[in-house]
Amino acid sequence: MNFGYRARGYKNCDKQAEEFLNWLLQMRGNLTVSKQAYTFSLMYLLKTNELAYNFTRSHGFKIFSDLLDDECTKEHQVAYNVVSTLWILSYHQFTLKDFEDYSLNIIEKAVKVLDFFNKEKVVRIVLLLLDNLKTASDGCHEIMSDIGVLNLTIKLQNRHWVDNDISELLDKLFEFLDQNQKTFSSILKFRKEVSQKTHLRWGPIHTEKFWQENYLSFHEKDNLDLIRVLVDVIKNEPGEDRDKAIACFDLGEFARYFPLGRQILDQLKLKEEVIKQMGRVNSSAELKKEAIICYQKMVFDSKSSSSIKF
């Protein structure tokens, strides 16, 4: 009993706490304890600022990314522990780069937990995380916009919740996201994402509405050059099927709305590339669907392109 009293508080047991955290980090995907015990231990330890910093610096967010992909879709308590820990970490500025990291995809994966569990405590902690992140950084807000958190909020508002905190959180999120949604539905956002040539993500800039509102912007050479970049995305082998699917969607909309869009795409030999994606044995269902729709948009009312120079 006396030992426990003396050890109470991080400063009185910092070495032991750090050793315990390092042990948990070393286990990663090869756990020797239950998933619930593992995630609860991390949640408890990472309430301490120093340990949270060490965990983040040791690329600990990769652990959560992997858990969200797998175990968090199987056990609601594991999902609750992981998202609760992320909520705790979201109060620190030094964690924001990990929340914004596309390769980790933490925010989107945390939201997808709601596809598997509708227990109120899980819904509440996911909403608390989103409530923190919505103003934490432009990058986090942008991701939330891209993955359709506004639509999710509206969907959840239509349910009855016993916990009044959930309704209040939903109202706050809706008000903020509804007022700021247009910030990321712009040609500048499109130019930034496509020109970086890294990953494309479904969101407001990859919708029919975006092309209806912004197709005239592609008269500018800098924006028109992005069409060639999107064609290169489809040509890239091996490349990510998700990136190619989104590129197919955008190019199909370009064909529909931009004057002479079909002719420009003919010059870039897009039809041949799209047909290749349609015929690939290992193409994802998403890519094949978007490739077929893109092809249909290009061949509908197609005209000669002999007089057009791109």
pLDDT for 238 equals 78
Domains of the chain, earliest start first: 2-184 (1.25.10.10), 187-299 (1.25.40.150)
How far is C-alpha 104 from the chain's CA centre? Answer: 9
pLDDT in tens, the chain (310 residues): 333 434 456 676 788 899 999 999 998 878 888 999 999 999 999 999 999 999 999 999 999 999 999 999 999 999 999 999 999 999 999 999 999 998 899 999 999 999 999 999 999 999 999 999 999 998 899 889 888 899 999 999 999 999 999 999 999 999 999 888 766 667 888 998 898 766 888 878 899 999 999 999 999 999 999 999 999 999 988 778 999 999 999 999 999 999 999 999 999 999 999 999 998 888 899 999 999 999 999 997 544 344 444 5
Sequence-ordered list of residues with C-beta below 8 angstroms from that of 79, at least 6 positions apart, any chain? 68, 71, 72, 73, 113, 116, 117, 122
Whether 200 and 242 have beta carbons less than 8 Å apart is answered as yes
Whole-prediction pTM value? 0.72
Sequence-ordered list of residues with C-beta below 8 angstroms from that of 217, at least 6 positions apart, any chain? 187, 223
User: Look-up: residue for tokens 């990058």?
Assistant: 139
Whether 86 and 127 have beta carbons less than 8 Å apart is answered as no
pLDDT for 97 equals 95
Sequence-ordered list of residues with C-beta below 8 angstroms from that of 154, at least 6 positions apart, any chain? 174
Distance, CA of 276 to CA of 278 (rounded, Å):
5
Whether 294 and 268 have beta carbons less than 8 Å apart is answered as no
Other C-beta atoms closer than 10 Å to the C-beta of 215 total 18
